[in-house]
């Protein structure tokens, strides 16, 4: 089944004084009153990156989700906690009614001259497939964040258990009035690793990450980002979803999510 695209200007509408209003494009599949973790992660990363010198680039992002993130207006409090010319650390919090609903920290690393070796480059994304019908989880015909992204699978599917590879393209900017950055494109979909590689029936099991870590090599180039994801489950209700993100030129970063795994 194909689905109409969203009529959303962006994931977030800025309101001044560090305030933002989420649009329908942020809606979670688990709860339509909550946000999917991808857009908040990208927004926190973008706000933190705005604080540092342009010669510093994102090296690692860690985002914590203490509970559902309400799909309501919020403020962001961001600061530099370890200034530096070569490495810099920042922190940010998303706040609703004086309560932190998501928090993040990031390391930013200075760029420089090309080194004499490029190390191991063994990641190669498959070719971008032709346009595909946009199919979501079984029993879920429509959800905002799902429709905010164009998904083109090379193997696996949201409706099928097991590892999956998918090319993704965001249909709208992260912040209204600002162009999409390469890391915006990667981080919005990085938190989907557990969803695209789910091993358990949607609606019968929860496999929710309370935190997500994205380790960056470089920013993706162009509109499309490839996510190659897999989930491994332990025997005691814990799991891990992990994935590689890249573009047509190679690897861009790695994502890891520990999972709460429990029957509904």
Q: How many CB atoms lie within 10 A of CB 35?
A: 28
Domain of 48, in residue numbers: 12-111+126-263
- Mean pLDDT of the region 87-95: 98
Size of the chain, expressed as the number of residues it contains: 264
Give the tens place of pLDDT for each residue, 119-129.
Answer: 999 999 999 99
5 assigned to some structural domain? no
Rg (CA), the chain: 18
Percent of the chain with pLDDT over 70: 97
Per the domain annotation, does 116 fall within a domain?
no
215 within a domain of the structure (yes/no): yes
In a domain, 221, yes or no: yes
Whether residue 7 is contained in a domain is answered as: no
Q: Quote the pTM value.
A: 0.95
Please report whether residue 226 resides in a domain: yes
Of the given ranges (4-18, 180-194, 199-213), which has the lowest mean pLDDT?
4-18
Q: Find, among 82, 83, 81, the residue nearest to 92 by Cα.
A: 81
Is the pLDDT reported for residue 69 higher than 80? yes
What's the pLDDT score for residue 3? 46
- 189: enclosing H helix or E strand: helix 182-190
Whether the pLDDT of residue 31 is over 50: the answer is yes
Residue 216 · residue 41 · CB < 8 Å: no
36-42: average pLDDT: 98
pLDDT tens-digit readout, 226-249: 999 999 999 999 999 999 999 999
Looking at every residue in the chain, the average pLDDT score rounds to 94
CA distance 25 to 39: 9
Residue 1, pLDDT above cutoff 60: no
Task: Tell me, yes or no, whether 6 lies in a domain.
Answer: no
In this structure, what CATH number is given to the domain that contains residue 239? 2.40.160.210
Kindly tell me the burial class for residue 42, based on how many C-beta atoms sit within 10 Å of its own C-beta (0-12, 13-18, 19 or more): buried
Question: Coil, helix or strand for 125?
Answer: coil
Domain count, the chain: 1
The mean per-residue pLDDT over the stretch 66-75 comes to 97
Would you state the pLDDT for residue 5?
A: 54
Per-residue pLDDT tens over the stretch 138-175: 777 678 999 999 999 999 998 889 999 999 999 999 99
pLDDT of residue 139: 73
Cα–Cα distance measured from residue 246 to residue 51, given in angstroms and rounded to the nearest whole number? 26
CA distances from 191 to 177, 215, 235, 241 (A): 24, 12, 23, 9
Position 117 in a domain: no
Q: How far apart are CA 5 and CA 231, in angstroms?
A: 29
């Amino acid at each position: 089944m194909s689905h109409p695209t969203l009529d959303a200007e962006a994931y977030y509408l800025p309101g001044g004084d560090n305030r933002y209003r989420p649009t329908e494009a942020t809606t979670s599949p688990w709860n339509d009153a909550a946000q999917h973790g991808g857009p908040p992660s990208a927004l926190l990363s973008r706000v933190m990156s705005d604080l540092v010198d342009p010669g510093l680039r994102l090296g690692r992002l860690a985002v914590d989700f203490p509970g559902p993130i309400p799909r309501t207006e919020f403020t962001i409090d961001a600061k530099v906690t370890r200034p530096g010319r070569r490495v810099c650390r920042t922190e940010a919090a998303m706040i609703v009614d004086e309560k932190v609903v998501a928090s993040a920290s990031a390391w930013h690393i200075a760029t420089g001259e090309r080194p004499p070796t490029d190390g191991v480059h063994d990641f190669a994304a498959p070719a971008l497939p032709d346009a595909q019908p946009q199919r979501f989880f079984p029993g879920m015909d429509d959800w905002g964040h799902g429709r905010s992204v164009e998904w083109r699978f090379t193997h696996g599917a949201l409706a099928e258990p097991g590892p999956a590879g998918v090319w993704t393209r965001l249909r709208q900017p992260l912040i209204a009035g600002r162009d999409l950055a390469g890391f915006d494109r990667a981080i919005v979909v990085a938190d989907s690793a557990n969803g695209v590689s789910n091993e358990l029936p949607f609606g019968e099991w929860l496999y929710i990450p309370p935190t997500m870590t994205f380790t960056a090599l470089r920013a993706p180039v162009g509109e499309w980002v490839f996510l190659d994801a897999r989930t491994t489950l332990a025997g005691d209700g814990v799991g891990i979803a992990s994935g590689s993100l890249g573009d047509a030129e190679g690897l861009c970063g790695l994502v890891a999510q520990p999972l709460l795994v429990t029957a509904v």
